[in-house]
Amino acid sequence: MGLRYTSKNYTKTFSSRDDLKKSLDVWSSEKKFELVFTTQERTNENGVKVSTLKCKRKNKDQCSFMLEFRTDPESNKPNNYILYDYKNIHNHQLNTYHGITALTEDVKEKIRQNKAHTRTYQDLTSLINKQCKTNFFWRTIYYEVKKMEDKEIGTVTNDANNLVKLLKADALKRCGFYETKIAKGKLDRICFMSKRTKKVLNSFKDVLIIDTSHKVNRFNMPILDVAVVNNLGKTVCCLFALLPNHKYESFFWALNHLKS
């Protein structure tokens, strides 16, 4: 993908804010710089969603590079983002990272060998750069690992569909409980309990222990877990929920189902 920095000519659209960020991450890494969202998404008085990305070195070097994307509620795809405004100026030297064209078969094989033995993508990238004498930005390696995982174990969408099928079968055969929300054909959120955890919750619901992890799962979603302490002093998890974000509305959705 190559931006031509003119909203009149550039017509590529993005189906979500995540899709927008992922696509521009790949593009910007090839162009030797990194983009970041400047703020949370805002919606103006006309119902238009506005997302602005700037060069990561804006604060350090006062770089003025900017891309602004907006939705058009009056179009036939009101939730799609399209380039609205831009400023194509960097006031600093761009990095000299290698792009995806430098991902040779030898480099890909090194990634396969080492991806399970490093803690972070930054660590993996450093190792690949040292072994292959390259200079990849970590996001380039990250997206290559994701492609490999999709090819080896299937896509995240397939995993999500299989998870829903398993929970549905458990609800029918063993009186488990689950609730899902699908948005634009994708799993937006899900919560579930087994027959046993429902019984435990009913017996020891005086105090609930609630915690979330931050996107450390296959779906890259926060996972909420609710636990109780039983009569033996043991902590027992009762409800799990995969949520789209850490916002109030997401927690309310999960905990309301717990209450019901």
- pLDDT score for 215: 62
- pLDDT score for 69: 93
**Across 91-105, 168-182, 234-248, least confident range:** 91-105
Judged against a pLDDT cut of 90, whether residue 38 lies above it is answered with: no
Percent of the chain with pLDDT over 70: 94
Judged against a pLDDT cut of 60, whether residue 90 lies above it is answered with: yes
pTM of the prediction?
0.51
The 8 Å CB, 24+ separation contacts for 235-239 are 235/209, 236/197, 236/200, 236/204, 237/197, 238/193, 238/197, 238/198, 238/200, 238/201, 239/191, 239/192, 239/193, 239/197, 239/201
Would you place residue 54 in the very low, low, confident or very high pLDDT band (cuts 50, 70, 90)? very high
Judged against a pLDDT cut of 80, whether residue 31 lies above it is answered with: no
Compute the distance between CA of residue 230 and CA of residue 236 in angstroms, rounded to an integer.
7
Percent of the chain with pLDDT over 90: 33
Judged against a pLDDT cut of 70, whether residue 255 lies above it is answered with: yes
Compute the distance between CA of residue 46 and CA of residue 122 in angstroms, rounded to an integer.
41
Judged against a pLDDT cut of 60, whether residue 8 lies above it is answered with: no
